[in-house]
A and B are shown apart, each in its own frame.
Chain A
Amino acid sequence: MNNALSISRRRFITLTGSALAVAGGGSAFAQGQPRIRIDPTEFQPVPIAITNFLPGTPSDGDVGNGVTQVITNNLKRSGLFAPIDQAAFIERISNMDVAPQFQNWKTINAQAVVTGRMTRQQDGRLKAEFRLWDVVTGQQLAGQQYFTSPEYWRRIAHIISDQIYERMTGEKGYFDSRVVFVDETGPKERRVKRLAMMDQDGANVRYLTRGSDLVLTPRFSPNSQEITYMEFGQGDPKVYLFNIETGQREIVGNFPGMTFAPRFSPDGQRVIMSLQQGGNSNLFVMDLRSRSTTRLTDTPAIDTSPSYSPDGTRICFESDRGGRSQIYVMAAGGGQAQRISFSKDDTNATYSTPVWSPRGDYIAFTRQGGGQFSIGVMKPDGSGERLLTSGYHNEGPTFSPNGRVLMFFRDPGGNGGPSLYSVDISGRNELKVPTPGFASDPAWSPLLSSTPG
């Protein structure tokens, strides 16, 4: 019984003790500090120091400076970085294999430092090296070396820019990409329109057609090797395929009427376009391998400007089936379409030229309402509409490969001509894209370094 007594008391004490411990623990937990939360309200570009790329040999000085300039320009134009003027640098980098004196870079408020070297190899190739340093933690964030032909030094600079961008933001870059557009020259009544292609920063402009025939709506294939566009030839305007490398071109399909507004599917195996039939136009898709065509819409309305979602399962397009031009979304194989554009402040506003973002999160569009043309974005379900820029005539948005930037063309009216502009999807950092003459209908290529072939 004594045993029974002692056990019962022990158990009682144990139970009581554990109960108190639980209570104590609870109170201690309750006293835990809440996390201090920081949500910045203002966006500020990251200050970054880009030092001159050192020449591996005395003759590599120019290319080193050129690469530095291209990287600086790319990062600055992105709006996410604020390259620091080299005149403010305290330290001069003489050896890129030695870590910089970070205190010198902290003094000028740099958060990161880029160092690099360009060396011409004995085999004639160019060797490009770079390092990205975190000034605050003193760690190397990235370091790469590339070999290329000397004439591709600009492309190397774009690839390095993408590396820096990706390491600092966590997102893929978009600098190693091209833009195809319609180059316009001559007086307004006799405007010559040529298909042209350039780097995304406006350099390396190449003309793909001679300008004898009017060209419109060029679009890149996913491998960036082909372009599909509409051309007014001798007969009806037709959709063409143009191979950039070979210069060959061919008509897409053999349709009886006018075909226009073509665009590649994400896998590059199909081209979706509009076919005019009488006063209406419907969407068709053609398989480039089998050359078979499929009708996607059959309505007494104008259905045009189709664009695939990045996963290829859905299509957004514009249609006036409701009376005015609006944006609709439907399955890639056709079927019932759902209208997604609804203007909140102007019931007469129209929406056109929808383009699905490569990231799938937005659909960009041209909105006409209140006497203005605006470029905007909305979610694929039609929510979260946001106008990024408005003016007399803005049209034809196209997404950068990473979906962060839109390029479009703006026509001020009068005797002038259109120009290309870019704007961040948040509406900030609107910039004019340099082109040799007037330019319209831009289409951004995928990232060249990530595309096969």
Chain B
Amino acid sequence: MKVNVDKTLVASIALHVLVLGWGLVTFSSKAYVAEESLPIDIISTDQLAQMMSGQKTGKKEEPKPKVEKIAEAKAEEDAVGKVTEKKELIKTNSTPEPPPKPVEKPVEKKPEPPKPVAEAKPKEEPKPQEKKPDLAKEDPIAELQKKLETKKPPPKPVEQKVAAVQPQQQPKPKERSFDPAQIQRDLDKRAATRHELAGSTLNASASLGSTTGTAVANVATWRGAFQSAVKRCFTPTYNGQDAEQYEADIDIPMKIDGSLASEPIIVGVRGPSRSIAQAIAESAKRAIVQCQVYSFMPKQQYESWKLIPMTFGLKDML
């Protein structure tokens, strides 16, 4: 008999211990989850600037080609470089400033028509660079003669331009046959350098946020809103130096539509003078009633604000 009794008791104790132990372990683990810390990364200003310019770590599964590599990117870089080179040329022409200008213009305009072929540009550009310094290096005595020669050509370029325009008009009818791929290629070439910094392609995989955010479940949201709404109407009439000692606890029964379910209940008042404390509590009651209806309260969380406990104080009055 004794043995049987002990066994059941032992079994019962063991079961309870197991259940309690399991409960302790699970609850404690939940507690740890609740206390999960928020990782904070310290970043430098450079990193921040980089982040602001675009997403650093996008999905690399489908890297979109930023540019269709039909032509070499260098060609366009050179095209950009043209401008700087021209400036340099202007600088070098310390004495014969006017002559080279007219020379440049016709040289540049001539290559323009064949733009569609990007590769052709760089070939042409270095030429004027080389030529012009050469001109400058050549006999300074002969400059005057060349100036005279160069002054003459200005009217010529006009003719050349006209001539240049004509060939452009001729290919146009050919373009009407229209090759969209060709245009796309041209466009991509122009946009190639722009996309590298903050183009839409870089941010294509960036998240715009979840459609089911956690803001709705944020208790602090309605508490703060309710607090500021009531504060707007609270006009206590006491501001003595012992004001911080006065407090009134008031419970507010609420309806789901944000109106008061009944009159606010003065739970307790504190302060050196009972009559002043009571007046503060009544002032608070008036504020609560006057500022209703609190229609902004989230209905889905009604259970959490069915009864709102509040404390009215005068700590910051002076």
Interface residues in chain A, defined as those with a beta carbon under 8 Å from any beta carbon in chain B: 1-2, 4-5, 8-9, 12, 16, 33-41, 43-47, 80-81, 106, 111, 134, 136-137, 166-171, 361-362, 379, 384, 386, 404, 424-426, 428
Distance from B224 Cβ to chain A, minimum over Cβ atoms (Å):
9
Instruction: Say how far B65's CB is from chain A's closest CB, in angstroms.
Output: 56
**Shortest Cβ distance from B274 into A: residue:** A170
Residues in B whose Cβ lies below 8 Å from that of A425: 240-241
Q: Identify A169's interface contact among B1, B5, B9, B238, CB under 8 A.
A: B238
* Cβ contact of B312, chosen from A38, A170, A386, cutoff 8 A: A38
Partner of B8, one of A5, A136, A167: A5
Contacts of A386 in B (CB 8 A): 241
A40: chain B residues at CB < 8 Å are: 231, 234-236, 314, 316-317
Q: How long is the Cα–Cα vector from A8 to B12 in the complex, in angstroms?
A: 11
Residues of A close to B239: CB separation below 8 A: 43, 424, 426, 428
In the complex, B280 has a CB within 8 A of chain A: yes
A448 to B227, CA, bound (A): 42
Sort A-B residue pairs by CB-CB distance and give the 10 closest, nearest first: A170-B279, A170-B276, A170-B275, A136-B286, A169-B237, A35-B311, A39-B315, A39-B316, A44-B235, A35-B309
A16-B273 Cα distance, complex, nearest whole Å: 49
The smallest beta-carbon distance between B305 and chain A, in angstroms, is 8
Contacts of B223 in A (CB 8 A): 36
Determine whether the beta carbon of A41 is less than 8 Å from that of B16. Answer: no
How distant is the Cα of A35 from the Cα of B252 in the complex, in angstroms? 11
For the complex, what is the distance from the CA of A81 to the CA of B279, rounded to whole Å?
14
- A38, B238: Cβ atoms under 8 Å? no
Partner of A168, one of B8, B234, B237: B237
Interface membership of B263, Cβ < 8 A = yes
Task: From B280, B290, B310, give the contact of A37 (CB < 8 A).
Answer: B310
- From B227, B278, B289, B304, A38 is in contact (CB under 8 Å) with B227
Given that A16-B16, A170-B238, A171-B238 are known contacts, is A36 also in contact with B310, CB under 8 Å in the complex? yes
The residue that A137 contacts in the complex, of B1, B285, B318, with Cβ under 8 A, is B285
Decide if B279 touches A169 in the complex (CB within 8 Å): yes
Given the complex of chains A and B, what is the CA–CA distance between A290 and B278 in angstroms? 45
A34, B309: Cα distance in complex, Å = 7
**In the bound complex, what is the Cα–Cα distance between A345 and B47 (angstroms)?**
48
Q: Is B313 an interface residue (CB 8 A)?
A: yes
Q: For A34, what are the chain B residues with a Cβ–Cβ distance below 8 Å?
A: 309
Q: Whole-angstrom distance between the alpha carbons of A5 and B8 in the complex?
A: 9
Interfacial chain B residues near A45, Cβ < 8 Å = 235, 237
* A80 partner, pick from B234, B237, B290, beta carbons under 8 A: B237
Residues of B within 8 A of A426 (CB): 239-240, 318
Flag whether B254 is at the interface (Cβ < 8 A).
Answer: no
A173 to B58 Cα, complex, angstroms = 72
A171 and B316 in contact (CB under 8 A), knowing A9-B9, A33-B304? no
Whole-angstrom CA separation of A80 from B239 in the bound complex = 10
Q: Are A171 and B275 also in contact (CB < 8 A) when A8-B9, A9-B9 are? A: yes
A89, chain B: closest CB distance, angstroms: 18
Q: Give the size range of B's interface with the partner.
A: 35 or more
State A137–B262 Cα separation when bound (angstroms): 11
Q: B317–A39 contact, CB under 8 A? A: yes
What is the minimal beta-carbon distance from B303 to any residue of chain A, in angstroms? 11
Give the chain A neighbours of B226 by CB distance below 8 A: 36
Q: Does B13 contact A (CB under 8 A)?
A: yes
Across-interface contacts of B104 in A (CB, < 8 A): none
Chain A residues within an 8 Å CB radius of B310:
35-38
Bound Cα distance from A44 to B314, whole angstroms = 13
Q: B245 CB to closest chain A CB, in angstroms?
A: 12
For this complex, 9 residue pairs linking A to B, each with C-beta atoms less than 8 Å apart, are A16-B20, A38-B284, A38-B310, A39-B317, A45-B235, A136-B290, A137-B286, A361-B240, A425-B241
Most buried by B among A384, A425, A426: A426
Please give, as numbers and ranges, the residues of chain A lying within 8 Å of B2 by CB-CB distance. Answer: 1
Say yes or no: is B202 at the interface (Cβ < 8 Å to chain A).
Answer: no
**B200 to A: closest C-beta gap in Å:** 46
B313 to A, closest residue via Cβ: A39
| Contact present for A106 and B314 (CB under 8 Å) | no
A9 and B12 form a contact (CB under 8 A): yes
Provide the bound-state CA to CA distance between A169 and B282, in Å: 10
- Interface assignment of B242: CB less than 8 Å from any CB of chain A: yes
Query: Residues of A contacting B285 with CB < 8 Å?
Result: 136-137
Instruction: Give the residues in chain B near A9, CB-CB below 8 Å.
Output: 8-9, 12
A36, A37, A404, A425: residue with the most chain B Cβ atoms closer than 10 Å? A36
Task: Give the most central of A41, A169, A361: most B CB within 10 Å.
Answer: A169
**Chain A minimum-CB-distance residue to B231:** A38
Separation of A424 and B234 alpha carbons in the complex (Å): 20
A171 to B238, CA, bound (A): 9
Report Cα–Cα, A171/B276, bound state, in Å: 6
Residues of B within 8 A of A8 (CB): 9
Q: In whole angstroms, how far apart are the Cα atoms of A326 and B237 in the complex?
A: 34
Residue of B nearest to A111 (CB): B286
Closest to A19 in B: B20
Q: Are A170 and B273 in contact (CB under 8 A)?
A: yes
Among B201-246, those with CB < 8 Å from A are 223, 226-227, 230-231, 234-242
- Find residues 1-39 in chain B having any chain A CB closer than 8 Å to their own CB: 1-2, 5, 8-9, 12-13, 16, 20
Given A111-B286, A168-B279, A170-B273, A36 and B241 touching (CB < 8 A)? no
Is A362 touching B276 in the complex (CB atoms < 8 A)? no
Specify the chain B residue showing the minimal Cβ separation from A141.
B282
- B242 near A361 (CB under 8 angstroms)? yes
A8 to B230 Cα, complex, angstroms:
57
Is B191 located at the chain interface by the 8 A CB criterion? no
B314–A170 CB distance below 8 A: no
Contacts of A361 in B (CB 8 A): 240-242
Asked if A137 contacts B276 (CB within 8 A), the reply is no
Q: B234 to chain A: closest CB distance in Å?
A: 5
Nearest CB on A from B99, distance (A): 77
A38 to B308, CA, bound (A): 13
List 14 other contacts, CB 8 Å, given A167-B279, A379-B241: A5-B9, A35-B310, A36-B226, A37-B227, A38-B231, A39-B317, A40-B234, A40-B316, A41-B316, A134-B286, A136-B285, A136-B286, A137-B263, A171-B273
